[in-house]
Amino acid sequence: MEFRLIDRIRERTAQGREDVKLGIGDDAALVAPPAGQEIAIAIDTMVEGVHFPRGTAPADLGWKSLAVNLSDLAAMGASPAWALLALTLPSASSEGIEQFIDGFAEGFAQLAQPHRLALIGGDTTRGTLTVSVAVHGFVPPGQALARGGARSGDVVLVTGTLGDAAAGLQLLQRGARVDEGDGRAAFLIERLHRPTPRLAAGLALRGRATACIDISDGLVADLGHVCAASGLGAEIDAPLLPRSSMLLGAFDEAAARDFALSGGDDYELCFTVPAARVADVQTDLARLGCGATRIGRMVDTPGVRVRDEHGRWLEITRHGWDHFAP
């Protein structure tokens, strides 16, 4: 059974790359990194009921399990190459497991193939539905983006829009369906299930951004990591936060702001750029289709503070996702 599942995954995710010398089907994969490149490696684990709602469509889960890892490569300014996949599957009929695998592999492949990412190995086992993906990418020496390079006075920017995924999750928890209403629920839930890793933006930020991180746990939490690594703080202007018309149409201003600040799961990039480079960076990322919105600046005072439309500092009661919070 296990080897039949592996064959089904291999058939649906096949991607030829000259640097893969031996892929799925042996005790280990053999790869040949290109000369003059450093390898960026990231891994994420997703557990049903913790990182994705029970009942998530297998194809959506396949897409998202890869997307969250590609987003990490994007935040490093790396281009993707290879992936490893470990699947823990609950007990079910052979037919049920095979249907799940087919859907999962289809969603995974839909995102992997445009980026020429090859699945080169992994593992399957039985237990609570859990997906672990490790990705490997390339970046020229000295050009990787990191969290610790921001400087006081740098401008803080984000790609895309914030808060959509968290709003989609809340709608699901309320029992919303993607086929009801005026399309707002469908849009927000789609943003939750199928985030877009900003790989092209990450490449464009090489040599320009002083620090970068992807927004997985929430803007305040993740920008806080940049602040800690850089030994600085940040001041954010809440009215500047980019939010979609679908989010603003489905929720009031206060809720939309909270989603954008603390919701997480959007997998947009948050990065810092010297003020003199902001206009050029915004122009280039606009050409890529994701845009970049200026939301604040880096300062010497530690911590992340958020200012409202009246210039008053907001009390942030929820900073973002914490895996080990009670």
Determine how many CB atoms are found less than 10 A away from the CB of residue 204. Answer: 19
Domain locations in the chain as residue ranges = 2-139, 155-307
Q: Beta strand pairing status for 155-159 and 233-237?
A: unpaired
* Distance, CA of 272 to CA of 157 (rounded, Å): 6
State both tokens at 316: 């942030």
The reply to whether 322 sits in an annotated binding site is no
The reply to whether 7 sits in an annotated binding site is no
The reply to whether 55 sits in an annotated binding site is no
What average pLDDT does this structure show over 210-225?
A: 97
The reply to whether 258 sits in an annotated binding site is no
**Strand-pair partners of 270:** 158, 213
Task: Note the pTM of the prediction, 2 decimals.
Answer: 0.92
* Distance, CA of 104 to CA of 127 (rounded, Å): 17
Reported as a pLDDT band with limits 50, 70 and 90, residue 325 is: very low
The reply to whether 51 sits in an annotated binding site is yes
Query: Does residue 320 register a pLDDT over 80?
Result: no
DSSP SS3 for 66: helix
The reply to whether 284 sits in an annotated binding site is no
The reply to whether 123 sits in an annotated binding site is yes
Encode pLDDT of 14-36 as tens digits.
667 888 888 888 889 899 999 99
Question: Higher confidence at residue 12 or residue 31?
Answer: 31
CATH homologous superfamily for the domain 2-139: PurM-like, N-terminal domain (3.30.1330.10)
Task: Report the percentage of the chain scoring pLDDT > 70.
Answer: 90
Domain 155-307, classified CATH 3.20.20.80, yes or no: no
The reply to whether 214 sits in an annotated binding site is yes
The reply to whether 252 sits in an annotated binding site is no
Reported as a pLDDT band with limits 50, 70 and 90, residue 132 is: very high
The reply to whether 27 sits in an annotated binding site is yes
